[in-house]
């Protein structure tokens, strides 16, 4: 962990990345996972999400597993991938169930797999429990990578202390995760600037960092990007890009620099 103080500045230039992301609505849209995970989300709402994802060219349309096939059909030919949550939102699903879910949604057209790690095992804090957490993630990663998909591991940072966040990040990275992700949005808190900075410090250039939970405005998104996020999950994606589109382009550098 001694390299954390310099990993991100030497390898991942968060300021340059954020400035590029915020230079146009199109660039920003390409980093936003347009998300609808409410338990009462209807078919028409999922189809609207997909329509918006295709219109704005978001990074993906993120849905619950039951809607993957619907979303994949709606997005066919658009080039916008389908994202799906696995073991959501508690992470306490059997590893075999997470693998089964992953295999099934891959066949139905999912590309972004956002899985919740086993938080209780992580907190149990024995070598065997840490290994079980890693293997749980690895089982999903191997299936996803074999199917040409990517995996974002949800740490649920609001439930972890500093050392647990570091441990969870390293376990996820060692298991092959493509992204470290802060939150489900269904627990006691969402993404924070401090947590994004911490996760980027651990990840360096090894993986992406996804901020999710409570990001509802351009100011929120900008703060996360400057802290080191390279992907943002939000249900307010359309509002966020419209905010950027409506901002005076000549004032953009000064305003983004203040976040």
**Where on the phi/psi map is residue 185: left (φ > 0), alpha (ψ -120 to 50), or beta?**
left
Phi, psi of 13, deg, nearest 5: -85, 95
Helix (H) or strand (E) holding 243: helix 237-245
Q: Which residues are catalytic?
A: 114, 181, 210
Do 221 and 28 contact (CB within 8 A), yes or no? yes
d(CA 163, CA 172): 14
Please give the structure tokens belonging to residue 74.
Answer: 């709606």
d(CA 157, CA 149): 24
d(CA 141, CA 121): 18
- The interaxial angle of helices 218-227 and 14-21, nearest 10 deg, is 150
Q: Is 53 helix (H, G, I), strand (E, B) or coil?
A: helix
């Amino acid at each position: 962990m001694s390299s954390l103080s310099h990993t991100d500045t030497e390898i991942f230039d968060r300021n340059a990345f954020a400035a590029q992301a915020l230079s146009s609505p199109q660039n920003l849209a390409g980093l936003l996972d347009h998300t609808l995970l409410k338990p009462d989300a209807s078919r028409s709402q999922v189809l609207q999400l997909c329509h918006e994802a295709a219109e704005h060219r978001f990074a993906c349309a993120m849905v619950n597993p039951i809607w993957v096939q619907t979303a994949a059909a709606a997005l066919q030919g658009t080039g916008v991938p389908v994202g799906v949550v696995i073991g959501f939102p508690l992470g306490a699903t059997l590893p075999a169930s997470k693998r089964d879910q992953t295999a099934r949604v891959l066949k139905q057209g999912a590309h972004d797999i956002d899985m919740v790690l086993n938080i209780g095992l992580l907190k149990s804090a024995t070598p065997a429990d840490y290994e079980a957490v890693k293997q749980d993630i690895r089982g999903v990663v191997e299936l996803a990578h074999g199917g040409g998909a990517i995996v974002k591991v949800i740490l649920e940072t609001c439930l972890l202390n500093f050392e647990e966040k570091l441990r969870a990040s390293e376990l996820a990275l060692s298991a092959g995760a493509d992204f470290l992700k802060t939150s489900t949005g269904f627990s006691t808190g969402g993404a924070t600037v401090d947590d994004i900075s911490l996760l980027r410090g651990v990840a360096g250039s090894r993986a992406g960092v996804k901020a999710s939970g409570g990001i509802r405005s351009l100011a929120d998104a900008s703060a996360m990007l400057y802290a080191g996020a390279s992907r943002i999950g939000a249900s307010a994606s359309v509002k966020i890009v419209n905010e950027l589109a409506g901002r005076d382009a000549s004032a953009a550098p000064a305003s983004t620099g203040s976040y």
